[in-house]
Amino acid sequence: MPTSPRPLSGFPEWLPAQRIVEQQVVDTLRRTFELHGFSSVETRSVEPLETMQRKGEIDKEVYVVRRLHAEGNEDLDPAKTLALHFDMTVPFSRYVLENAGKLEFPFRRYQIQKAWRGERPQEGRYREFLQADIDVIDRDTLPAHVDIELPLVIADAVSTLPLPPLKMSVNNRKLAEGFYRGVGVQDTLGVLQRIDKLDKIGPALVRKLLVEEMSLSDKQADLCLSLAEIRTTDLSFVDRVRALGVSGELLETGLQELAAVVAAGIEYAPGFLIADLKIARGLDYYTGTVYETVMEGHEELGSVCSGGRYDSLATDGKTTYPGNGLSIGVSRILARLLGRELLTATRSVPTCVLVALPSEDDRPAGRRIAAALRGRGIAVEISPTAAKFGKQIRYAERRGIPYVWFPGRDGGADQVKDIRSGDQVDATAADWAPPAEDLRPRIVRP
């Protein structure tokens, strides 16, 4: 007996109008990245499981890939088992190592591709999702100005999209680790990973973790939390850190690097960058500047664009390839905005013009009209049937097609009708064009 397909949670699929929104967002990101000199890369979907497991604390379930009839049910061998990638940074690092002899450094790449994580599906977290990443990677050393440049690229990209305002919080791992060392902490990564939970569980529980799990004294825990409380839109965070009475060379280096990033944000992207010293990023491959971004009015969604500097993620034992990268959670942003009908498209089809048919005998003439319009970049459909014109117009209305083209009869001129306003004018396929706003579907905020 036929049954309806069951929805599979965590794998978002879009209706045609929603897909138009996604494609235009991706196209805008791609154009912006290319304007800044980034080259497109696409990596394979799978990596060896051992590669995925050795890149730090990954608290997401990794999907493994096996043939249906693979022999045996023994434990998976991480060296032989393939896993779907959970982000783009690890595959990109591998890609750089494999192709280093063919790449020009510094290498600027963007990658818009899907990734997979076996999370519990919920709003903002999916098992299959689209990311848009940019990275700059170099050989041996990476200039500090890259830490400044990348958030400005993101600011440029999102400024041209009809999204709620985005605010990027920025911190520096050297600043945090230098501070923790200055108060006598040995396991700085462990403290960073617990500070990274502040927004999820609050300061009281984080303090408890610092004391009970990390064996910090009450004074040490309080100082670490005092650092994490500092959040400014200007350079005043520097004096506030120094006022805590902790010093050290690594701390000072981190302060200077973070100040340079924030100063550039003030000049080139006012209101976009915020110095937020609780931002930690739990993965251990981050070594310097780190970033997290929220949408105003949707802060509970968490970060929609994050990343940071990694100085030793990619190495072949002889040469190290440091980099810095940021990742935009395209699916996370769009699922929220599309699901709440905060974004839509002006129509659900690319078609701008429907060529009506007086009769089936006119279909060849309709094809010639359509070809002429398409040759000038205008998306066209030919009516599926030569029904009465009223039915063909209603077909266009249901499809969201704004214009209907009526071929001339007995030597008369062709005419085109705007079915929204009712205006109908003579036209020729060689020179008629719709208003620019009707040529293609557009993203709108209802």
| CATH number of the domain to which 184 belongs | 3.30.930.10
pTM score, two decimals?
A: 0.90
Tell whether 3 is covered by a domain.
no
Tell whether 160 is covered by a domain.
no
Residue 69 has pLDDT above 80, yes or no: no
Return the higher-pLDDT residue of 78 and 360: 360
Residue 387 shares a structural domain with residue 438: yes
For range 329-333, the mean pLDDT: 96
Q: What is the pLDDT of residue 74?
A: 54
Boundary (domain end) residue, out of 228, 251, 282: 282
Mean pLDDT of the residues in the chain: 92
Is the Cβ–Cβ distance between 294 and 167 less than 8 Å?
yes
Residue 57 has pLDDT above 80, yes or no: no
Tell whether 287 is covered by a domain.
no
Q: What is the pLDDT of residue 61?
A: 83
Residue 25 shares a structural domain with residue 143: yes
Domain, as residue range, for 419: 353-444
How many degrees, rounded to 5, is the angle at CA 413 between CA 407 and CA 419? 60
For range 128-135, the mean pLDDT: 97
Q: Please name which of 189, 188, 206 lies closest in space to residue 197, comparing C-alpha atoms.
A: 206
For range 168-181, the mean pLDDT: 96
Residue 2 has pLDDT above 70, yes or no: no
Residue 234 shares a structural domain with residue 178: yes
Residue 322 shares a structural domain with residue 396: no
Tell whether 1 is covered by a domain.
no
For range 81-100, the mean pLDDT: 91
Tell whether 288 is covered by a domain.
no
For range 62-86, the mean pLDDT: 77
Q: What is the pLDDT of residue 391?
A: 97
Q: What is the pLDDT of residue 108?
A: 98
pLDDT band of residue 60 (cuts 50, 70, 90) is: low
Q: What is the pLDDT of residue 84?
A: 93
Residue 177 shares a structural domain with residue 307: no
Residue 338 shares a structural domain with residue 243: no
The radius of gyration computed from the CA coordinates of the chain, to the nearest angstrom, equals 27
Q: What is the pLDDT of residue 122?
A: 84
For range 183-206, the mean pLDDT: 91
Q: Please name which of 115, 121, 61 lies closest in space to residue 89, comparing C-alpha atoms.
A: 115
| Domains of the chain: total | 3
Q: What is the pLDDT of residue 189?
A: 86
Is the Cβ–Cβ distance between 408 and 358 less than 8 Å?
no
Residue 143 shares a structural domain with residue 59: yes
Boundary (domain end) residue, out of 324, 345, 366: 345
Tell whether 105 is covered by a domain.
yes
For range 205-223, the mean pLDDT: 94
Q: What is the pLDDT of residue 75?
A: 64
The 10s digit of each residue's pLDDT in 356-390 is 999 999 999 999 999 999 999 999 999 999 999 99
Residue 418 has pLDDT above 70, yes or no: yes
Is the Cβ–Cβ distance between 400 and 420 less than 8 Å?
no
Residue 383 shares a structural domain with residue 366: yes
Residue 16 shares a structural domain with residue 140: yes
Give the least confident one: 45-49, 90-94, 155-159, 281-285.
281-285
Tell whether 140 is covered by a domain.
yes
What is the CA 206 to chain-centroid distance, rounded? 29
Q: What is the pLDDT of residue 85?
A: 92
The 10s digit of each residue's pLDDT in 135-154 is 999 999 999 999 999 999 99
| Percent residues over pLDDT 70 in the chain | 96
Q: What is the pLDDT of residue 54?
A: 65
The 10s digit of each residue's pLDDT in 247-280 is 999 999 999 999 999 999 999 999 999 999 999 8
Residue 279 dihedral angles phi and psi, to the nearest 5°:
-70, 125
Q: What is the pLDDT of residue 7?
A: 82
What is the CA 375 to chain-centroid distance, rounded? 34
Residue 121 shares a structural domain with residue 174: no
Residue 136 shares a structural domain with residue 189: no
Residue 103 has pLDDT above 90, yes or no: yes
Give the least confident one: 192-201, 370-379, 386-395.
192-201
CATH of the domain at 376: 3.40.50.800
Residue 393 has pLDDT above 60, yes or no: yes
pLDDT band of residue 72 (cuts 50, 70, 90) is: low
Residue 138 shares a structural domain with residue 39: yes
Tell whether 186 is covered by a domain.
yes
